Amino acid sequence: MPLNSVISYPISAYQNLPIHAEYYEPNRFVISGITLGVQTTVTTTINHNYVIGQLVRLIIPSSFGSRGLNEQTGYVISIPSLNQILLDLNSVGIDPFISSSAKTQAQILSIGGINTGAINTSGGQNLSTFIPGSFLDISPL
């Protein structure tokens, strides 16, 4: 077979679709405020869909301050209100969060995914492993 031959296999119409963030829960949220302390409270611009036990990452551009929290991960330990998350991050001594009109917004992102399948040695059971707050595919496809 020549090296420049094209091999064409049947490809399912629903194979390798682009990833759409709107098809996954929980989502990414823009941060409107951070209260520093032994535990860190993050306020989002809209109501979030995170759960207690969720692992999250903070992305904070330098124009927003709180540089010591950029790229930090922490667990949600409480949900004080629909747009607030209390994290197990110690932020004592970190510069305060400030509002900015920067194009790239400060954001909080969930970490994790749902893996399904047999989780024991008892055979072909359709069981699932669920990580609280992990991604859930809600795609209409």
pTM for this prediction: 0.66
Residue type, 121: T
pLDDT, one tens digit per residue, over 33-86 is 999 999 999 999 999 888 888 888 999 999 999 999 999 999 999 999 999 999
Helix (H, G, I), strand (E, B) or coil at 64: helix
Highest mean pLDDT among 20-24, 37-41, 53-57, 102-106 belongs to 37-41
- Residue 28's pLDDT is 85
CA-based torsion, 97, 98, 102, 103: positive or negative: positive
**The Cα angle at residue 73 between residues 96 and 36, in degrees rounded to 5:** 25
Helix (H) or strand (E) holding 128: strand 128-129
Answer yes or no: are the C-beta atoms of 82 and 91 closer than 8 Å.
no
pLDDT band at 110 (very low <50, low <70, confident <90, very high): confident
Q: Which CATH architecture has domain 23-137?
A: Beta Barrel (2.40)
